[in-house]
Amino acid sequence: MSVLELRSISKVYGRGAAEVQALRDISMSVPAGMMVAVMGPSGSGKSSLLTIAGTLEEPTSGAVLINGQDVERMSNGAKARVRRRTIGYVFQDFNLLPGLTAAENVSLPLELDGMSARRAHLAGLKALEDLGLGDQARRFPDQLSGGERQRVAIARAVVGDRSLLLADEPSGALDSANGESVMRLIHTYCKRGTAAVVVTHDAQLASWADRVVFLRDGRVVDQTMPPAGPETLLEQPS
């Protein structure tokens, strides 16, 4: 069973003369452990695809299944739970809360989900330590570099063992070394069993993915399985 399944998704924004068809008949299946990169020019529907996959917006037609469950048939409570527990989101501009430390930013979703502050804090610290950010746990976002902030945002998105990671140009505001380390990190989570869909405009970064989907005018125009991503080079014996 796929963690994420999109069945013939179409999305129309606006009406009449202002009507925009953002997505046209998109189908996609992302099993546990798979990292999919989505590429395409500006306006091709990448963000629309991600917000619909993340249940933040409804498709005009078609179905979204999360762990086999049709989102349209879920109660509002069940949908909210899926957003809190199953799906993690990472955005280009990090979206960290400036008044909270790194550790507090990461533990917040767990607390919102009902975990005690103490347990949430410990889980947040652990997630930061896993990313090599243990020493930065007490810092506020403006005391962190861009690369560190994005790693905190990724820790927040995966904390609590979520099964689907959705990232919209997570490396868009980073230099190439930090962009590379963000993709490597997402790749590592996928090897542990997370499913991920990552939008990027950088072909080099997309090569971290198991599959690359190309969008144009809301349609899938091509899909590839990169023969040798950077990880296979790293795995070669020296």
| Interface residue with ligand ADP, options 42, 75, 76, 236 (CB under 6 A) | 42
Phi, psi (degrees; rounded to nearest 5) at 98: -65, -25
Does 47 interact with Mg ion (rule: CB under 5 A)? yes
Q: Which stretch binds ligand ADP (CB under 6 A): 37-45, 145-153, 170-178, 188-196?
A: 37-45
Q: How many residues appear in the chain? A: 238
Taking CB under 6 A as the rule, does residue 112 contact ligand ADP? no
Q: What whole-number distance in Å separates Cα of residue 134 and Cα of residue 126?
A: 8
| Residue carrying structure tokens 């570099």 | 145
Structure tokens at 206: 């997309």
Asked if residue 128 lies in contact with residue 152, where contact means CB atoms within 8 angstroms, the answer is yes
Tell me if 46 contacts ligand ADP by CB under 6 A.
Answer: yes
Q: Helix-strand-coil percent breakdown of the chain, rounded to 5? A: 40, 25, 35
Give the nearer residue to ligand ADP in terms of CB position, either 94 or 144. 94
User: What's the rounded Cα separation, in Å, for the pair 212 and 207?
Assistant: 8
Q: Is 44 in the site for ligand ADP (CB under 6 A)?
A: yes
Q: Residue from 3, 6, 22, 137 that binds ligand ADP (CB under 6 A)?
A: 22
Residue 200 found at the interface with Mg ion (CB under 5 A): no
Phi-psi region of 40 (alpha: psi -120 to 50; beta: other; left: phi over 0): left
Q: Based on CB atoms, which residue is closest to Mg ion, 47 or 86? A: 47
Beta bridge partners of 5: 29, 65
Question: Quick check: 54 binds ligand ADP (CB under 6 A)?
Answer: no
Per CB under 6 A, does 59 bind ligand ADP? no
Contacts with Mg ion, residue ranges (CB under 5 A) = 46-47
Contacts with ligand ADP, residue ranges (CB under 6 A) = 13-14, 20, 22, 40, 42-48
